[in-house]
Structure 1
């Protein structure tokens, strides 16, 4: 089975995007192995921090390299890719061997896709990812899932995916798996 690494773009405990990722994990059950990237200790990118490679950066690189694909679950912050997610992708897109800055990164040719849970800005965030992911040399699967946050979640913290969202997740999972074969 293929290994798919989930990157949850909200580091908040119990985030709505993490809850959507849990739904996607169920969709992939028996079809792929799923793991979640722990990236909370990755610092703000600075070339001054590139060498020697920080343990937190090495850990996320190793996890991405070991995966067959990455699936990002991202909120929309001000109708854009959250700065924290972009920061992580900036680190991952840097050449592993800095003696050749155009060389392969941890993301090199990695199959990738994105889902977004937010109350607005879905298309703007999607457009940002559609431009960014191929530029940083991933093989982007442009079958995305978007969801608004159900009203009750703001009170009880429980994200509820609609049948349409669950159907979209199934289609997205199939497209991702198809791109891996």
Structure 2
């Protein structure tokens, strides 16, 4: 079975994107194993911190390298990707051997995809990911699932994906697995 690493772009307890990831996990049930990246301790990127590699960054790189694919579940902040997610991707996209800064990164040729949960700006954020992910040398599966946050979630904290969103997650899971074959 293939190993899919989920990166939840919101570190908030009860994150709607984490809840979307749980729905995607169901779409992969019996087809792939899923793990979640712990990246809350990754520092803000600075070349001054690259050597020696900070332990949280080394752990992130190892988790990415051990996975067959990554699936990012991202909020949309100001019609773009969250700065924290961009920071994580900046660290992960740096060359593993800094004596050759054009060399392979942890993300090198990694199959990737993205899903977005937000109340607006999906198209703009999706376009940022469509440009960024191939640039950082991932094999991007452009089958992006998007969802608005259901109104009741703002009161009770429970994100409820629509049947259409669940169908889209299933299509995205199949496209991701197909890209791995």
Q: Is TM-score (shorter-chain normalized) higher than 0.5?
A: yes
Structure 2 CA distance for aligned equivalents of residues 14 and 179 of structure 1: 30
Structure 2 equivalent of residue 85 of structure 1: 85
SS in 2 for 1:114: strand
Q: Within 5 A, what are the aligned runs for 1:1-181?
A: 1-181=1-181
Structure 1 CA distance for aligned equivalents of residues 93 and 43 of structure 2: 15
| Shift, 1:80, TM fit | 0.3
Task: Indicate the RMSD between aligned Cα atoms, in angstroms.
Answer: 0.3
| Shift, 1:43, TM fit | 0.4
Structure 2 CA distance for aligned equivalents of residues 50 and 121 of structure 1: 33
Q: Deviations over 1:128-163 (max 9, x none)?
A: 000000000000000010000000000000000000
Structure 1 portions without partners, runs of 5+: none
The number of residues matched between the two structures is: 181
SS in 2 for 1:176: helix
| Shift, 1:127, TM fit | 0.1
SS in 2 for 1:6: strand
Structure 2 CA distance for aligned equivalents of residues 77 and 44 of structure 1: 18
Tell me the TM-score normalized by structure 2. 1.00
Stretches of 4+ aligned residues off by more than 2 angstroms = none
| Shift, 1:3, TM fit | 0.2
SS in 2 for 1:115: strand
Tell me the TM-score normalized by structure 1. 1.00
| Shift, 1:64, TM fit | 0.1
Structure 2 CA distance for aligned equivalents of residues 40 and 128 of structure 1: 22
SS in 2 for 1:164: helix
Structure 2 portions without partners, runs of 5+: none
